[in-house]
Structure 1
Amino acid sequence: MLRKILCAALLIVAPASAAPQTEKLLSTDKTVTGQPIVSPDHPTVLATMLTFQPGDKTVVHKHAYPHYGYMLEGVLTLTNVETGKVFEIKAGEFLVEMQNTAHYGENRGKVPVKILIVDSVPEGVTSNAVPVQP
């Protein structure tokens, strides 16, 4: 009997499992340049891990569909070729890249940049980066 009472007492005073912690990173309906986010009908999700070594730079390109990024490490510099505006995205930040706007990304820092990219594209599309001739 004493054993049952002790077990019941332990259950009462034992801390419950902690709930997972959540941190809102971003809530928006606009891209980094203020454009509305336009998603395709019946989208397919593509998830990619990108790593930029120091000095790495993408070609000038556009995204026809929503292109989201979560910065895991480093600082990515994005340059809007059409306006010249420069954006710096740091580790821990979430980004909604510009759509249908020529731009490029580069790592101007001394450490690698790691980004988790999520694209929302129509079925059958395998890439959301379209190179643009300068």
Structure 2
Amino acid sequence: MIRSIVRNGLLAAVCTVVLFSSSSSEALDSSPAAAKVVVTPLASVTTTASGQPIVLPQKNVQVLVSSFEIPPGATLPVHKHPSARYAYVLEGQLQVTNVDTGKGTSYKAGDFIVEMIGEWHQGANVGAEPVKLLVIDQVEEGTSNTVLKE
């Protein structure tokens, strides 16, 4: 029952974002003028950071939401994700590098990241302040979405 409610809630949230993704900013008109809700789309993508199509788990999807705080100068271990991972940069500057191609991308506060799937990569805080991320994983229930390179 709870799983169904979570899935339906997630589906409703995604539909709401899609409804308002056609313009840069819209106000919902059901409130008085001084109390309007403003929806500002942050991303609308169909591919990962490395250009792969986004594919979701086919059964028993579990949504995991985490916050990350990466101190200045810290580098994450080389890793990959078997399923979709999304991150919103709240603070700081993050450099993500695909270790196979050497291609790196910098992200700053306000950026939305659709991480690469199944490709070895590494993140590093390249700024003077902590990197704070809101991370959302969609995995097959009971599985992890991070595989460390040995």
Q: Which residue of 2 aligns with 1:124?
A: 142
2:114 maps to which of 93, 96, 100:
96
2:53 maps to which of 36, 47, 53:
36
Question: In structure 1, how many angstroms separate the alpha carbons of the residues matched to 2:33 and 2:101?
Answer: 54
Question: In structure 1, how many angstroms separate the alpha carbons of the residues matched to 2:85 and 2:120?
Answer: 13
Q: Which residue of 2 aligns with 1:10?
A: none
Which residue identity is paired with 1:129? T
Question: In structure 1, how many angstroms separate the alpha carbons of the residues matched to 2:120 and 2:132?
Answer: 22
Q: TM-score normalized by structure 1? A: 0.84
Q: Which residue of 1 aligns with 2:63?
A: 45
Give 1:19 shift.
2.2
Give 1:18 shift.
2.9
**3-state SS in 1 of match to 2:39:** coil
Give 1:59 shift.
0.6
Question: In structure 2, how many angstroms separate the alpha carbons of the residues matched to 1:101 and 1:20?
Answer: 39
1:114 maps to which of 103, 125, 132:
132
Q: TM-score normalized by structure 2? A: 0.76
The structure whose Rg is larger is 1
Give 1:16 shift.
4.5
- For CA contacts below 8 A with separation 6 or more, give which structure has more relative contact order: 1
Which of 71-80 and 34-43 deviates more?
A: 34-43
Deviating runs (4+, > 4 A) in structure 1? none
Which residue identity is paired with 1:43? V
The gaps in structure 1 that reach 5 residues or longer are 1-14
Which residue identity is paired with 2:79? H
Q: Which residue of 2 aligns with 1:26?
A: 43
Question: In structure 2, how many angstroms separate the alpha carbons of the residues matched to 1:22 and 1:58?
Answer: 33
Q: Which residue of 2 aligns with 1:81?
A: 99
Which residue identity is paired with 1:74? G
